[in-house]
Amino acid sequence: MSLDEMEQTWNEQQLPSDPAAKPVQKAANSLSRTLLLAWAMLAVMVFALALKVHEVWVEPERTFANSFWNLSIAAASVACGGFGVVWARRFVSEFRTLAHDTVRCLDLLIYNVEWEIRSIRRDLPLMMLGFLILFVLAKGQSISAGFESSVEWNYIWFVLVVFGITGAVMYHRVQAFLRPRLEELRAVRRQFDPTP
Partner 1 sequence: MNRTEQTACFEQWMQEHPGIPQKVARSFCAVDADREDLLQEIRVAIWLAIPAYDSRSKVSSYLYRISLNRAISWRRRPQNRSGHLDSLEEHPDMAAAPANHDPRLEIVYHAIRNLPAAERALILLQLDGFSYREIAGTLGLTESNVGVRLNRIRTKLAEQLKGKKP
Residues of this chain that bind partner 1 (CB under 8 A): 1-3, 5-7, 9-17, 99-100
Q: Which is nearer to partner 1, 2 or 154 (CB)?
A: 2
Distance CA 148, CA 142 (A): 6
Q: What angle do CA 44, 75, 38 make, to 5 degrees?
A: 40
Q: Is 149 helix (H, G, I), strand (E, B) or coil?
A: coil
Q: Which is nearer to partner 1, 8 or 30 (CB)?
A: 8
Cβ contacts of residue 142 below 8 Å, gap of 6+? Answer: 67, 70, 148, 152
Q: Which is nearer to partner 1, 1 or 169 (CB)?
A: 1
The nearest distance, CB 157 to partner 1, in angstroms, is 53
The nearest distance, CB 179 to partner 1, in angstroms, is 25
Q: How many residues does the chain have?
A: 196
Distance CA 71, CA 157 (A): 21
Q: Which is nearer to partner 1, 9 or 63 (CB)?
A: 9
For 131, what's the count of Cα atoms within 13 Å in the CB-facing half-sphere? 20
Q: Which is nearer to partner 1, 100 or 190 (CB)?
A: 100
Residue 147 backbone phi and psi in degrees, to 5? -75, -30
Percentage helix, strand, coil, to 5, in the chain?
Answer: 85, 0, 15
16: left (phi over 0), alpha (psi -120 to 50) or beta: beta
The nearest distance, CB 194 to partner 1, in angstroms, is 12
The nearest distance, CB 20 to partner 1, in angstroms, is 14
Q: Which is nearer to partner 1, 18 or 59 (CB)?
A: 18
